[in-house]
Amino acid sequence: MVSRPVARDDRPVGQPDNRRRGRRVRRWVIVLVVLALVLVGADFGAAAYAEHTISQKAREQLGNLSQDPSVTVHGFPFLTQALSGDYSHISVYAAGVPVQDKLRDVELSAELENVTAPLSDLLAGNTKTIKIGSLKGQVTVKASDFARFSPLDKVQQLKIEPVTEDYVKSGDSGQAESTPTPTVTPTDADGQPIDSSTAGIRISGYVQVAGQKVEIFCFALISVKDKKIEISPNRLQFGNDKETTVVPPAVQKALLPNFRATINAGDLPFSVTPTAVRVNSGSVTIKGEAKNVTFTGQPAKG
């Protein structure tokens, strides 16, 4: 009888089972990852559909826009908010918004909080029942739109710049002004601009004086009160950005009315109550708030 060499098996006992178990674990991991991606994709898809629906309705409300407003539904996952019909935060932004026949290039942004919007209504495109617990909005009006309001429409090449309120009231102490106009905006401890119902504004442009086209600077206070934006001119200077000369009192008295204007803020989008005004270089931003309103800007019922 011939003996055969015994083959030595150095493999650890149970190795095939460990390999099969490892493959099963990897398969489950892959399945779970794919499932998670599908759910996240579905969540983002549903959010995108809701944002598109709100954007379309916002475009209808805001008028003849060149493109849809930007709408962002904050919070994740979206589907849990959609199923409950309660959203903590929605942002809306639009540029180039026309308001009646005067304002043609308004920039609008609004933060909607504690929003109630039933999923069935969103799917049906019905945004009339959307209730907004708190709305904080701001509207930015450019100098080109201010120039369409009487009597500012008499000022050619109208420009807007921020100035301090103190400079508006007392910057004409001398007969000539050669220092730069102060434009420091008051800030809080965190360096953020402090909102106020009044602000200093410098309006410049060209007007006709005794048959001559003269560049003039008007220093005024702009304020919001009772849903109105009022520009109250305080003093005038002739000249340019480098050097200006105080306008004689008699001439100031004749020209100051050319810079006094009132704008009805009740005509602005989202019908918020104006609470603050801020002057920027080339524009003015009006901030406002509203409580318990619908998406159309009307008071919410119930």
Please give the pLDDT value at position 296.
58
Q: Provide the token pair at 93.
A: 């932004």
Determine the average pLDDT of the residues in 275-281. Answer: 91
CB atoms within 10 A of CB 127: 19
According to DSSP, the residues that pair with 90 across neighbouring strands are 73, 112
Q: Residues 142-172: pLDDT tens digits?
A: 999 899 888 998 889 999 999 999 889 877 4
Lowest mean pLDDT among 45-54, 139-148, 259-268: 45-54
Exposure string for 27-58, b = 16+ CB within 10 A, e = fewer: eeeeeeeeeeeeeeeebeebbeebbebbbebb
pTM for the model stands at: 0.72
Which tens digits make up the pLDDT trace of 181-214? Answer: 555 566 656 666 677 889 999 999 988 777 788 8
Please say whether the beta carbons of 74 and 90 come within 8 A.
yes
User: Hey, what are 178's tokens?
Assistant: 């050669």
Residue 277, class by beta-carbon neighbours within 10 Å (0-12 exposed, 13-18 middle, 19+ buried)?
A: buried
Q: What is the pLDDT of residue 175?
A: 35
Secondary structure class of 125 (helix, strand, coil): coil
Residues 55-64, mean pLDDT to the nearest whole number: 66
β-pair type (244-246, 176-177): antiparallel
Say if residue 77's pLDDT is above 90. Answer: no
d(CA 208, CA 221): 23
Above 90 in pLDDT, residue 20?
A: no
State both tokens at 18: 């460990």
Instruction: Give residue 172's pLDDT.
Output: 46
Cβ-count burial 146-165 (b if 16+ within 10 Å, e if not) = bbebeebeebeebbbbbbbb
Which carries the bigger pLDDT value, residue 84 or residue 300? Answer: 84
pLDDT at 248: 80
182-187 contacts, C-beta under 8 A, 24 or more apart: 185/278
The domain segmentation of the chain, as residue ranges, is: 45-129, 143-286
Residue 224 has pLDDT above 70, yes or no: yes
Res 221 pLDDT > 90: yes
DSSP codes of every residue in 48-111:
HHHHHHHHHHHHHHH-S-SSPPEEEE-SS-HHHHHHHTEEEEEEEEEEEEEETTTEEEEEEEEE
User: To which residue do tokens 């409580």 refer?
Assistant: 291
* Average pLDDT value over all residues in the chain: 75
Of 80-94, 152-166, 271-285, 286-300, the one with minimum mean pLDDT is 286-300
CA distance 220 to 233: 4
